[in-house]
Amino acid sequence: MSYLLALAGNQNCGKTTLFNALTGSNQHVGNFPGVTVEKKEGPIKHYKDAVLVDLPGIYSLSPYTSEEVVTRDFLVQEHPDAIINIVDATNLERNLYLTLQLMELNIPMILALNMMDEVRASGNSIHVKKLSDALGIPVIPISAAKGEGISDLLDVVIKTVKEKKPTQKLDFCQGEVHRAIHSIAHIIEDHADAAGFPTRFAATKLVEGDEPMFKALKLDTSDIHIIDHIVEQMEEDLGTDREAALADMRYTYIEGLCAQCVVKHQETREQLRSEKIDRLLTHKYLGIPIFLLIMVIIFWLTFSVIGAPLQDLLSAWIDSFTAGLERVLTVAEVTPWLTSLIINGVCAGVGSVLSFLPIIVLLFFFLSLLEDSGYMARVAFVMDKLLRKIGLSGRSFVPMLIGFGCSVPAIMATRTLSSDRDRKMTIVLTPFMSCSAKLPIYGMITAAFFPNHGALVMTSLYVTGIIVAILSGLLLKKTIFQGSSVPFVMELPAYRLPDAKSVLLHMWEKAKDFLHKAFTIIFIASIVIWFLQSFDWRLNMVADSANSILASIGSIIAPIFTPLGFNDWRASTALITGFTAKESVVSTLTILTGAANDAELGVLLPQMFSPLSAFSFLTFTILYMPCVAAFAASKRELGSMKEALLTAGYQTLVAYIVAMVFYQVGSLIL
């Protein structure tokens, strides 16, 4: 017999860490809310017939955001055999709010008290047996990060699902809310059974005014009027609205429960340490400058001090491999066109991109340290005031932050935004962030034109994307996306030392994605580019690529970019191939210039660009529409091909205007 288990909890309570510990999966663990935007699943170690599903982190079962909808729909529609509710033991009061709602689903449940090592280290304690007796469910103390209590938890989970013992009927409501819930429960009992909902859960949702529940129960008009009257009477007697009444009822019970079960002498060491650090890092005036300084240092280490020597070593190895392979092909008397395809096409295209692997891995090493330490959540907090001026909240910074890695998961992460307006606006602005796929382009141009100012140029590129996003947001706020942003509520996790396994895993994921793209998309693109630049329209092999199919196509497009400072057909062609994957820009230019290695490419590029036009080229590259995969993600999240096309067109138009203004103004000054 197989079992389906659900892992549910608040954001940033250690769900993904526990999921990895129970399944052996290698999901990335982040220390800021919103890491899990889709459910993940995997078989539990040593119990392959038990499948664990990691649900998005939520604070409530009220379906306000996409992540709450995903979690609620799974729990209600898939009917898991048990719920593992993981809670942050250092913030028990807040976490138990979701626990009480989960218990109303009447599904067998186990409470996993995570971070108990921090509770003990601070001199605090939780009476686990008393808490378990009060809630009527098993409570297991664990530390997911350290692997403590995992085997005990697993034993209890398996025992619970085999016994199929649902949660005890826990009635923690009282007073007017109690009367309202039980009165409505009598009215809807048959409807709830028919729809497959626990009566208590359905009644509570109707008290909240939950529209999806009203529709699911298919109540007649008279029943709806009676329910509305009951709720109105409750609100009148309590002098508050329906949602506040339920929240007060739950927290009143939780406060009493924690008073009995929790002995708290002081905040945990991690929380006390975090408060001291936050006085500086979230300072009203110093917060953003400190963030920018940290990023400058990261870029300096990545592109100059550590990254450049590693890139040179890998590039030299690739050159040696290519030269050796060419000698082998020559000795074997392989036909010239095939030798050209392998050496000038595949090796030049793929090799030029591969040489940037050390830089990408190193950059994500540093970003992973910032993320796992909890600092990135502070950046979102600091950015809230700035983002609110353009009509967004600090919560939109999380997808934008993910966008520095890849636009695809960043666009998917907009599901965590409760406002449809904020979500769509964030999807439009997120691709302006410099994703990792653009790093090879930055590295190529920077090495060729600005070798002594790499960190400064890289910082300016990232800042340019942010500034354009801000200005674009101001424009969209006053035109298409009029209105106010939703209130910003975000948990600031305690600062913690990054887990070495998680950091290495993050680096490996990025390296794997980069290598996969290099040997699939870039490989195919290199072959196509080589063919188009090696043959004319009559399929005769040309000695000069200026007479090729690609040159004739690129020459038609090239004049469009003249106001941007470059009209070479090779540059325009490279930008077009960038639609498949941004790394293709580098491989395309390498093939079209005939460069044998990065050093030779650095010599040939000044024939196509001046330093000013090169920076204009970079500016356009930062901002124009993202790759096909990101476009597909935009279409899926926006729900319309028309909106996705308009978004891509807007991004490309903005890129053109900004690059043109930069070049034209720069030409006047210089």
For 321, residues 6+ apart whose C-beta sits below 8 A from its C-beta are 347, 351
Question: Does one domain contain both 145 and 185?
Answer: no
The reply to whether 273 falls in a domain is no
Question: Does one domain contain both 216 and 345?
Answer: no
pLDDT at position 487 is: 57
Residue 59 maps to which CATH number?
Answer: 3.40.50.300
Candidates 513, 524, 654; CA nearest to 577 is 524
User: What secondary structure does DSSP assign to 194-258, as a single string?
Assistant: HHT--HHHHHHHHHHT-HHHHHHHT--HHHHHHHHHHHHHHHHHHTS-HHHHHHHHHHHHHHHHH
Whole-angstrom Cα distance, residue 390 to residue 499?
A: 35
The reply to whether 282 falls in a domain is no
Using the predicted structure, report yes or no on whether residue 397 has a pLDDT greater than 80. Answer: no
Question: Does one domain contain both 129 and 188?
Answer: no
- Residue bearing the bigger pLDDT, 362 or 113: 113
Work out the angle between the directed axes of helices 287-300 and 375-388 (0-180°, nearest 10). Answer: 120
Question: Does one domain contain both 35 and 96?
Answer: yes
Provide the pLDDT confidence category of residue 143 given band limits of 50, 70 and 90: very high
How many helices (H) and strands (E) would you count in the chain?
32, 8
Using the predicted structure, report yes or no on whether residue 613 has a pLDDT greater than 90. Answer: yes
Using the predicted structure, report yes or no on whether residue 140 has a pLDDT greater than 50. Answer: yes
Supply 159's token pair: 């025992």
Strand 262-263 and strand 125-126: the pairing is antiparallel
**Alpha-carbon distances of 310 from 156, 359, 466, 512, 637, rounded to whole Å:** 49, 8, 29, 18, 38
Whole-angstrom Cα distance, residue 179 to residue 185?
A: 10
Using the predicted structure, report yes or no on whether residue 578 has a pLDDT greater than 90. Answer: no
Whole-angstrom Cα distance, residue 630 to residue 635?
A: 9
For 657, residues 6+ apart whose C-beta sits below 8 A from its C-beta are none
What's the chain's Rg over C-alpha atoms?
29
- Residue bearing the bigger pLDDT, 490 or 414: 414
Q: What is the pLDDT of residues 29-46, one digit of tens each?
A: 554 455 555 667 888 888
Q: What share of the chain is helix, strand, coil (3-state, %, to 5)?
A: 70, 5, 25
Using the predicted structure, report yes or no on whether residue 7 has a pLDDT greater than 90. Answer: yes
The pLDDT of 588-610, averaged and rounded, is: 81
Amino acid present at 291: F
The pLDDT of 621-636, averaged and rounded, is: 85
Using the predicted structure, report yes or no on whether residue 330 has a pLDDT greater than 80. Answer: yes
Question: Does one domain contain both 391 and 475?
Answer: yes
Using the predicted structure, report yes or no on whether residue 200 has a pLDDT greater than 60. Answer: yes
Question: Does one domain contain both 642 and 504?
Answer: yes
Whole-angstrom Cα distance, residue 634 to residue 423?
A: 11
Whole-angstrom Cα distance, residue 663 to residue 563?
A: 8
Using the predicted structure, report yes or no on whether residue 27 has a pLDDT greater than 70. Answer: no
Residue 344 near residue 542, CB atoms below 8 Å: no
The pLDDT of 604-618, averaged and rounded, is: 90
The reply to whether 272 falls in a domain is no
pLDDT at position 163 is: 85
Residue 210 near residue 202, CB atoms below 8 Å: no
% of the chain exceeding 70 in pLDDT: 94
Residue 65 near residue 76, CB atoms below 8 Å: no
Candidates 421, 381, 418; CA nearest to 401 is 381
Question: Does one domain contain both 305 and 426?
Answer: yes
For 524, residues 6+ apart whose C-beta sits below 8 A from its C-beta are none
- Residue bearing the bigger pLDDT, 401 or 429: 429
The reply to whether 16 falls in a domain is yes
Residue 197 maps to which CATH number?
Answer: 1.10.287.1770
The domain boundary residue, chosen from 107, 134, 163: 163
pLDDT at position 466 is: 84
Question: Does one domain contain both 120 and 179?
Answer: no
The domain boundary residue, chosen from 125, 140, 163: 163
Question: Does one domain contain both 72 and 49?
Answer: yes
Provide the pLDDT confidence category of residue 15 given band limits of 50, 70 and 90: confident
Between 133-147, 310-324, 442-456, the lowest mean confidence (pLDDT) is in 442-456
Q: What is the pLDDT of residues 235-290, one digit of tens each?
A: 898 888 888 888 888 888 999 999 999 888 777 777 788 888 988 888 888 888 89
Strand 40-44 and strand 47-54: the pairing is antiparallel
Using the predicted structure, report yes or no on whether residue 486 has a pLDDT greater than 60. Answer: no
Whole-angstrom Cα distance, residue 407 to residue 661?
A: 26
User: What residue spans of 404-548 are helical by DSSP H?
Assistant: 407-412, 420-429, 439-449, 454-478, 500-518, 521-534
Q: What are phi and psi of 70, to 5 degrees?
A: -60, -50
Provide the pLDDT confidence category of residue 484 given band limits of 50, 70 and 90: low
The reply to whether 419 falls in a domain is yes
What DSSP designation does 143 have? B
Question: Does one domain contain both 215 and 341?
Answer: no
Amino acid present at 482: Q
CA angle 405, 411, 414 (to 5 degrees): 115
- Residue bearing the bigger pLDDT, 453 or 490: 453
pLDDT at position 369 is: 86
pLDDT at position 32 is: 47
The reply to whether 581 falls in a domain is yes
The mean predicted confidence, pLDDT, of the chain is 85
- Residue bearing the bigger pLDDT, 446 or 172: 446
Between 132-146, 625-639, 651-665, the lowest mean confidence (pLDDT) is in 625-639
Q: What is the pLDDT of residues 38-83, one digit of tens each?
A: 667 888 888 888 889 888 888 888 766 666 777 888 888 888 999 9
**Alpha-carbon distances of 319 from 229, 350, 603, 605, rounded to whole Å:** 79, 12, 16, 19
pLDDT at position 399 is: 79
Using the predicted structure, report yes or no on whether residue 28 has a pLDDT greater than 90. Answer: no
* Three-state DSSP class for residue 86: strand
Supply 623's token pair: 């901002």
pLDDT at position 373 is: 85
Count of domains in the chain?
A: 3
The pLDDT of 556-585, averaged and rounded, is: 88
Whole-angstrom Cα distance, residue 188 to residue 194?
A: 10
Residue 407 near residue 626, CB atoms below 8 Å: yes
The reply to whether 56 falls in a domain is yes
Question: Does one domain contain both 111 and 207?
Answer: no
Q: Identify any residues that bridge with 500 across adjacent strands, giving them in sequence order.
A: none
The domain boundary residue, chosen from 138, 163, 188: 163
Work out the angle between the directed axes of helices 454-478 and 611-623 (0-180°, nearest 10). Answer: 50
Question: Does one domain contain both 241 and 134?
Answer: no
User: Diameter of the chain by CA atoms?
Assistant: 94
The reply to whether 169 falls in a domain is no
- Domain hosting residue 50, numbered range: 3-163
The pLDDT of 179-184, averaged and rounded, is: 90
pLDDT at position 169 is: 61
% of the chain exceeding 90 in pLDDT: 23
Using the predicted structure, report yes or no on whether residue 539 has a pLDDT greater than 70. Answer: yes
